[in-house]
Structure formats: C-alpha cells, structure tokens
Structure 1
C-alpha cells in the first residue's frame, strides 16, 4: 500500500517529463534535422545526393522531408515550399532528376494540423493546474474548507447493544432515544419532548463512546463524530463557523446523532479569569449554545457528549433544553466485569482452565478498556510462549502487567532484602486473613514490578456500594500490615512501605475532612486533594482556620495510630502463620490466595498443578497430611539440619517487650517450614 502511494506521488512528475519529451518531438525540435529555406532546398537538390524524400502537397504549401548524403553521413532535412505551379514543378523536377521516388501524401487539413500542434501545450497546462490543485489539497492551504465542519459522518455502524456490557442501566436510558429516532411521530402525538442533549459522564475507558455508537447502530441513523478540540483554532470565529456548518449538515441528514467527545475542551466555564479566558473557545461555546437552542422540538437531531470532567463545564451547557439528561457511566461491578470479559473473549482462544468469574473477582476497579487490555496482553503472552490456547497463568501475568508493569526478573535481591520484602508482604496477608472487613490478599509476589520491590494484589471480600467507618479502618489496617511486620520481626523499618503509608493517609484524611468520621463531627473541610480548575479555584478562600487544620492533623494521626496498633496486635498473635507465608514466598516467590490457605493449614503447594487438581489431592488426604508431605518435591535452599533450627514461639500478648521479639539472625536461620509446623492448624 505504501509503495502504491509513493508511485502516485511521483506520477505527475513522470507525466510532465513524458509530455515535454513528446512536445519537442512533435515540434520538430530534434537537433539532427536541418530546416532548410527554399533556396537552400534548391541547392541541396541540385548539389547533393538525395536518397529519400517525402512530399506532402497542401492547399497553400508543400512540405518536403528527406535524407541526403554529403559524402560522410546521412542528414535529415525538411523544408516548406509555397504551392505555386512554377515552384512545385521545379521541386518535382529536381527530385525526379535525383532519381528519388516521390511519395505523394494525402492532402493535409490545416485546421487539424493547427489543433494537433496545440495539443502538447494544452496537456502541459492541464498538468500544471492539476499539480497546483493537488499541492493545495495536500497542505494546509484549504482556504475554502477552513471553516467547514470536521465532524466525520459514519454510516452503517455495526456496533450493537450486545457489544456493550457492564452498563445495563445506561443502556435502558438510551432505549427511548433509539425508539424516538425510529418513530418520532409517536412522541409528538403524546406531546413528549425528547431530550436534545445527553451528557455521559464517567472515568476514562468505561465505554462512553462505544455506547453512543451502539445507539446509532441500533437506530440505524447517521452518526457524526467529532472531538471538542476540533472546533478550537488559532483564529477567532473559525470554531463558531464549524459549529454552524455541523448543524447545517445534520439538519440535512436528520434523524441523526451528533457525538462530541471530550466536550470539556470547548465547553469549559466562560469568564473564569486568570488562566481560563480564551476568546476562540468562548465564542465557539456561545455558538454551540445558540445552535442547540435553535433545534426544534422533535427535529430528529440528538446530541450526545462525553467527558470525565463535568465539574468544569459551563452551567449554561447543562441547563434543560440543551444537555438536559446526564448519564453516569461508572466502573463495572463484578457481574459487569464478567460480561465485559465474555464480550472481549469472543475472538480469543481460551483454554479449559480459564475461569472468567474468578478473573472478574480479581480485577476490582478495572474499566472495560483495562479488561480488554488484559485479554490482549494474555493473547500476546500466549503467542510469545508458542501456545495454542490462552491459559489462566497467562491471564494472571497479564493482570500484573496492566497494573504494575512487566516483572523485572533480572533484578536480584540480596538475601537480607529478599527476606525483608517477604515478611513485609506476608504482613498484609495476615491482616486480610484474621481481620473482618479487611482487604483480602489474592496474590503475593516478591518479584519486582515497576517501581515496587514486591507486589500484593488485595481486594475487598465483598463489593459494596457505600463503605462504612469500620470498612475504612480495616482497609487502613491492611495497609499498615507490611510496616508493622518489619517492626516486629526485624526491629527496623524500610522505605518499601511508602505507597502503603500514602494510601492509608489519604483514606484517613478523607474520613476526617470529607466523610465526617471523626471527633470533629460531620463537617466538610477542605481536603486539598481535588482537581483545581485554574482561574476558578486558584484564589478560592479556604474555610479551614489554623486551629481546625491542627485538629485535622491530630485526628488523622489518631486514626493511623489506632490502625497501627490493631495491626501490631493481629500480627503478634499470628506470628507462626506469618512465618509460614514468608517462607513460602522465599521458596516460590509468587503465591496465590488458594496457596496461602494451603500454607496456613500446613499442606504442600504445587504451582505446576491447576487449582482443581490441588483441591482433589487435598480431599484424598482425609485429614492425613503426612502423605502429601512425603510426595512434596520443592527446591530446598538449605539442608534439613539447618531448617530445624528455628523453634516457633507461642503467640504473645499485644504489648511485646523488645527483648522477646525474635531477632533478624534468628529469622535468617530458617527458609522453610519444619515438619512440626505442618501438624499445627491455627484457628481461622
């Protein structure tokens, strides 16, 4: 395709070269042909040996072309003789004297000869005009089209509601729009006015554009698509002209849908002051407001716009009569995520071990675009591994790659750092196991990803519409588990908990300043974490005094300290289980939630077997854990003698003296679980 385009680019120059060459040939411009006058022709015929001659007798002139030999070479000659009786007889007589056969050509047409002589010049002129027009069309010199609408008209859209999953309520809101576009008279008969504009609000990747295309596909109407930034240009008035042209075209093809993506680029609040003034954008917005008011009731034009920043839109744009219906397209829940995965898995070759329900459970907070990216990454990994099917292990790796980036297996820890990371991540897992309403660990790895030395996938036990104070406190406690584990087992802390501390502090501050979950009462304070709209919020006064700011900090500290103490208590009471999980991490580097349960029960784990095979082996044990232990084949980092050097202590109370905590040297003496641990099953 690229080669064809390259040939078309050079085609005009090739045609011009051929035309010029033809012009010189037709014009007799060859340097080897002598053009003789009448006297020179007579001299040549009298003195030279003419070997060939062609004579064309016209009404007024005689054209003579021939070849004569001057003794050294043959020379082409041509001449024109007036067609008089004496001169024509003389020329013919001389030719006959030279014993040259004369070819009397058909009598030529002067008008036709004149036209033929002008053909090369006409061809050159046409080519010049064509190239000039093409150069203007390929550059930015479209003077006549500069103010035209750039909305792309898409017809025969194949997207349907069946291709949009995870937003059932949003599709229900759009059904009546489809019904109106198909039969508008039904609404006019009832006296109903269909909404002129629908504003879809939601995070990026939730399917706002896809939903708008599905509406056009179901209604089978023209679909005009344009971005908000396509209206705004450097020159004032161009955007307004494009808006007028867009609505003019839409009225000619109604019923139709006009979809404006990222409308906040043109619909921001007017007169915002510092940093917010823009004459071209404001004039474009004014024209858009006027055109939407000019749309008559049931005129067959439906405006659909999408944005993820509704807080910066101009209030005049959101009033009834313009964008008078707002639909929030939120992130999908577990059921919606499963439906989205089923839609995007239609063209994927999935293995028999794929469980989309479990995959949806492990991806909270993922948008539809994220889930599509997960399946695509898994397919790429399958191709990379020369696999015919996509397996669950590749989907697990794809989730990690989307969230944290690819694993950096080449980055090696020293033994002390590796053990520190293992105990840190195991601290999060223990909190999720023994604290109600805490986030549950679905997967732990001590392989570095992105900027993190380890990775811990934590999800809620149940997805809730609203979170209570107890839920938030449990979540903060889960975040503090890693730091607390470092304090208890190593009597030291690392910088690896910075992300956990940041997340815990943000939740605690929102509890105080936004949710009113503190001793300060149900009062909304400025949290300082919102998106600032420059010009509107830059100089907005704060409603927090210095004393209140101090009390907010005190309440945030109080919440963090309470959760920290609770994490310290839980980890201290379940040290044995934490050591089991940490040793499993040191041996396998990556373990899942199911494998964590097996480790806690003292059962062996085998990552090469699918989940169902491990459970089947577990059922065959009938409570006897000795047989699996014998069959277990794992990598032993140290001899058996060294493994038995770590005696386990009984759980201690909350406040443990410093001298009774196990030291780092004692922890380093063991890397795996001894047989005595496997026979003890903690109370979960």
Structure 2
C-alpha cells in the first residue's frame, strides 16, 4: 500500500526527462568552455606560416604568451599559433616593425575551478540518488529495496465499479456481506444495541462461484478504501519478508481506517502450522503468526475489516478461523436453478437477444454451473452468433454454446466408417431407450452421434430440478441407463462384436455401486454401515476414498455386492431393450439419418413413428435396418455416463 501523494504519470517518461536534463547540463558546460576558448583564440596557423607572414609584412601586431601566440593580420583577421623554442622571435618582429607585447597565462576564475572540480562528484551523486529513488519509489513493493513493503493495491472505480446489483444467484452470501457495508456506512445503528463491527469474513466456495466478485461489490457499495492482495504475495524466499509485509499492510490500513482489506486465496499463507514440513521458523509460519497477531492481538485494529476467500477451508489453521479473527464464514455455493436464471439475466444484459431466448430453459440445462461457467456460456453464444453473421443471439446459439462447453466442440472432420457410425448409433439409442422406459430416470435432452471432444456420440439427460440427494430407485435407473449402450451392442451385433465404447459406462456404474454399498448403506446384505471414508477434497470429479479396517470376508462380501448391483442394472437394461427392440431400431436409424435429435423429437418418434420438424421435414425411418456382417470393433467412446450420464452424477 502506498500512502505517498506522487504525481501520476508514466514512470518511463519521468526517467527520460531526468536523463535528458543531465545531458543538457553537460552540453551547456562543454559549450561554455569551448565558446570561451573559441572567442579568444581565433584561426589557428602553423608557426612556420606565422614567420613567413611576418617576413611578408602581413602581420600587424601580436601578443606572445608562454603557450600561445595570438595576433592580428594586416587584413584585421585574428590568428593564433603555438610557439616553438625560437630565441630570435623578438629580433624578427623588430626587423619587420611588428608591434608585439607579452601576455600572461590565462587563469580560470574561482567559480569555474569549483564547477570544474565538483562536476564529476555532483554527477555521480545525482545518478546514485536517481537509482535509489527508482529502487524504492514511493516506499512501495515494486522496487528492489522495497521487498519488505506490502503489495496490496487500492481498488479504485477506474477498474470498473461493481455493486450488489451485479451479484446474483447467491442471495444469502450477499445479505451477510451487505450487513458489513451497512455497518461501515452507519455504525451507530448497530452500536446502540451493543453490536460490534465484525473483524473478518471468510468466503468459502468452489472456484468460479463469485467470491472475488462479492468482494468487489463490497468495495463498490461501502464507499471506503478497499485494498486487495493475494495470499501468495506475502510469501517470499527470505525469512521475515512476509511478516514485514503483513505489518506494513496493517499500518497502511490504519491510516485509511475505516477500510476493507481483501486477501484472495488465503490458504497460500494460512495453512496448518506444525504439519511436519520445515521447522517452526520457516517463512510461511512466521507470516501466518504475524497475520494472527495483527488481526487480533494486544493492539486493536479498529475500523479494519478483513475479507478473505478460499476454496480449501479444510487446510486453514484453526487459530485463523476462530471468532475474533474471522467472525463469519460465508459459504458461496454453486447457484440453484433460480440463481442461474438471475445470473444469466445479469450477463444477458450485455448482449442483444432474439425473442426466442428463454433464460429458465438455459438454466435448467446447466445444472452444477457456477457463475463463471454461465458467463462463459453467454460469451460463447455471442461469439458464435458473430461468426454466423447474426445481429441477435438466438436460442440456437445458446444451445450450441452449451453443447460446446459441456461436451466439447464438434469434430465433423473426423472420418468414421459406416459400420462405426452404425455401432455408435445403436450404442446411443440403447442409452436413450432405457432412459425413456425407466420411470425414475431424468428426461432426455438430446442424443447425437456427432463426435465431440473425446466422445463419438452422446445422450444428454437433464433433471427436472436441481437434486441435492439421490434416491435408491434413481440410482438403479441410472445403473440401467449406463448399461444400455453395452447391452444394445451385444443384442444387435453379437457377443463377439461388443466394443470398448462402454468403458466410461462401466467405470461410472462401478463407482456408483461402490458408493451405494460402502458409504450410503444401500446393501441389504451388508447393512447401513460405512466401509469407506473420504480422503481429501474432490479432484477432477473423483473423490479419493480409503477402506476402513475390515476382515477379508467383509471385503469379499463388498466386492460381491458391488458386482450384484451392477449386474442388476445390466439385467434391467437387457429386459427393456429386448421388450422394445423395434424402438431401438427406429431410433438408431433416425440418428444415422439426422445425427442429432432432441428429447421431444425422440419422444414423438417413439410414440408416433415419425417426426415433423419446424421446417416441415418429416422423419420416418425404417424400423428394421439391414445390419452388416462385417462390423469392426469400434474405437473407445467416452461421454457423460459412457455417453449417457445424468448431469451432476
């Protein structure tokens, strides 16, 4: 933090002006000396020419000095020459009637001597002062000598003012922080009842949920100085630098109180102490100790509110989380469907929309999206509309952008044989048919055999509403849907032609069955007991787990139950596809012909046997295809649920 009131401007321009001033001064001094000499010397000639001119009566008068002879020619032109050892010079001048006089050696003035001798020292001192000034400019942390200064920056409205109107979808978190703003504006309202301003608030949430946006909104609403810094800015290679920066940050904050200090990613400096890494005097622990003392030590920091953000609250030191330091822990969750609608409305204000755009439909199709994900979705839709040369962003662009974000870009350049396309179409049709006939399954949103990302095809299902827990019937339905693609391949192409495309289906089904048995107590044989415990945070959608101590018999029983549950889903998928084999052929042919079908089109196709699209095109594929006899084993196909996983699974 920098409290100095220095003039604003480009530092490179200031440096250039200073150096230009130094060069101009040097040029002036040199010019002064040269001009002085030039004014007294005149035109230089050789001594032999001087003697010749005397003998030719061309010299009017001369002045003889120990080191130089100057004079005037007959034509009044001044000249000068350097004398040599010539004892007969005066005799020569007398013989030819030249007027001559002696001249003492010119001595510079005292001031000129002082300037001449002190100029190098003044120049060295000026350069040294300028270098040191640049190294610790403003006493800040940008200079080499300012590494102990805080790197916190004062947030101004120049960077774009954000208010609570720009924060949507996280109403509870916004209300918690809005109260802090009201306290800063009118502390007497709370002080009358004995309330004290909170010293700190910790924002906890997944990446992209809007923690930093909330902090900027506080800055925009409060009307008080707002300093922002990252936790990693405290930690340096040198021991004690981080603690010095913490002290400097709070000193500057006291000068600007009441104010707010926002520390982003505080887990970089606030991790557990004494974890066995390093010793008690390492840099990070000293920095944390200084932060703890400054936040709640012997010296009170009235009017300074600390707001910190992290997505790893489990690694923070307990002393940092206690009341008196962080009085409030505000959870910033991923938004629900209503929150997503509000977030989309905020971002859609910045783009021109077509009349057919429905924010709730988009929100329903994006479960689990954070605020940053939704902002990216709107931006992708706008970019797609611009590429297509449109003036308005229509619903088709939002659907295409959603597919691109969730499933990856289309790979239409990928060359697939007809047999591979047919295998993919039946695989996806198997997922879709089982999903349609499983009552507890989420409805189908879209089915496609266009390769996207690493998937050769995909069936996307969307829940009717946000789900915060799963029921047993839905889990068994999801298991059956995940096995639908594998079962369809086996029924249509035979046991020997089953492909590796169901690898992600099997992976999902095994993981779901394991959680049902070991964590959720959904095995009648093993009972409602926990056999595995979570280890650490979720990483890339997978949570590490470790089995608790158990006997070999129990471990064997767990494996048997997992296999039994997966095989139950496999059996349910087999029964449904055998019962509705005609619909399987119908849907597979439709996918082969039109590549992508919406959920409503699939439902209409299965009910009426044909579809009439918006452009009047009728889809009426044949129900029984001519299956080739030489269908090769297809490549690995991935997708949600092995190309049909429900969102949020």
Contact 2:267–2:315 (CA under 8 A) maintained in structure 1: yes
What is aligned with 2:375?
A: 372
Structure 2: which 5+ residue stretches go unaligned?
Answer: 1-9, 63-67, 83-92, 101-107, 633-649
SS at match of 1:27: helix
Q: Is residue 442–residue 464 contact of structure 2 (8 Å, CA) maintained in 1?
A: yes
The alignment status of 1:559 with 2:565, answered yes or no, reads yes
Matched, 1:604 2:611: yes
Q: Does 1:221 align with 2:220?
A: no
* Corresponding residue for residue 640 of structure 2: none
Post-superposition offset of 1:204? 0.7
Map 1:201-240; keep pairs closer than 5 Å: 201-240=204-243
Offset of residue 237 of structure 1: 1.4
Deviations 1:109-138 (A, max 9, x none): 967867887898688557734763476469
2:519 to 490, 514, 519: 514
1:577 corresponds to which of 580, 583, 588: 583
d(CA) in 1 for partners of 2:313, 2:191: 31
Distance in 1, Cα, partners of 2:70 & 2:394: 85
TM-score using structure 1 length: 0.74
Distance 1:568 1:235 in 2: 66
TM-aligned CA deviation for residue 359 of structure 1: 0.9
**Distance of 1:472 and 1:326 partners within structure 2:** 34
C-alpha deviation, 1:373, in angstroms: 0.6
Pair 1:525-2:531 in alignment: yes
Contact 1:439/1:478 (<8 A) preserved = no
- Match for residue 267 of structure 1 among 270, 281, 297: 270
Measured on the aligned residues, the alpha-carbon RMSD in Å equals: 4.7
Given candidates 353, 356, 362, the residue that maps to 1:353 is 356
Distance 1:580 1:38, change over 3 A: closer
Counterpart Cα distance in 1 of 2:11 and 2:408? 38
Matches within 5 A, 1:167-246: 167-246=170-249
What is the SS of the residue equivalent to 2:296?
helix
Question: Secondary structure of the equivalent of 2:261?
Answer: strand
The answer to whether the aligner puts 1:158 opposite 2:161 as a matched pair is: yes
| Unmatched 5+ stretches in structure 1 | 56-62, 80-89, 98-108, 615-627, 637-642, 649-661, 669-684
Map of 2:289 onto structure 1? 286
Deviation for aligned residue 1:666 = 11
1:429 to partner: Cα distance: 1.7
Structure 1 residues 666 and 27, CA gap change in structure 2 (3 angstroms):
closer
Say whether residues 1:546 and 2:549 are aligned partners: no
TM-score, length of structure 2 as denominator length: 0.78
How many pairs does the alignment contain? 590
Q: Which residue of 2 aligns with 1:494?
A: 499
Q: CA deviation at 1:148?
A: 1.0
1:483-540 Cα deviation digits (max 9, x unpaired)? 222222222322222222222222222222222222322322325664499xxx9999
CA distance in 2, matches of 1:368, 1:452: 26
**3-state SS of 1:294 partner:** coil
Inter-partner Cα distance in structure 2 for 1:42 and 1:114: 35
Secondary structure of the equivalent of 1:258?
Answer: strand
Q: Secondary structure at the match of 1:285?
A: helix
